[in-house]
Structure formats: C-alpha cells, structure tokens
Amino acid sequence: MSENTLTFAIRKRLGFDATAHGFRATASTILNETGFRPDVIERQLAHAERNKVRKAYNRSQYLEERRKMMQWWGEYLDGLKVK
C-alpha cells in the first residue's frame, strides 16, 4: 500500500490533516521517549540498517520485545480516546 493511499485515508476518512509519515514519526518519538530500545523501534518501523557490518551479522527480529511494545502502543492510543 502506498504512502499516498494511507495519507488519503487519514485525511479523507479520519479527518486529520496529517500524513502516514507523520504518524510514524510521532510513534517513533513517543516510543523512544518512553524507553523502548532503538533497535526494536527501528525494526518495527522496517527501517534498514545502514551499518553494513551490523546489517550482515545482526538478523534479530526482536519479536517478543516488538509484541510488548505494540501492546503498550495500543494501550497508549486507547488512553488518548475522547470519551
């Protein structure tokens, strides 16, 4: 799915003046400030490792940490809902 498709959905269907990239940047900022490990956040955002040696040797997916982080993120977003 393209970024334009997501941005269209955010703007037209949800009514936010925002972009998909903006949501990703916000999530990254909040998760980093909350103390989640940067490697875990970057893997969740599907960012490629730039360091060639590290990329060649570190193939960890951090699945358990990512699951816990996404559970926290979902609960965080639920807490933002206007009731």
Task: List Cβ<8 Å contacts ≥24 apart for 18-27.
Answer: 27/73
Give the start-to-end residue ranges of the domains of the chain: 3-80
Over the stretch 20-35, which tens digit does the pLDDT of each residue have? 889 899 999 999 999 9
Please give the model's pTM, rounded to 2 decimal places: 0.81
Which three-class secondary structure state does DSSP give residue 47? Answer: coil
> Are the C-beta atoms of 69 and 30 separated by less than 8 Å?
no
Mean pLDDT of 53-69: 93
Q: Does residue 1 surpass a pLDDT of 90?
A: no
Over the stretch 41-58, which tens digit does the pLDDT of each residue have? 999 998 888 889 988 998
**What contacts 27, CB < 8 A, 6 or more positions away?**
45, 73
**Rounded Cα–Cα distance for residues 26 and 29 (Å):** 5
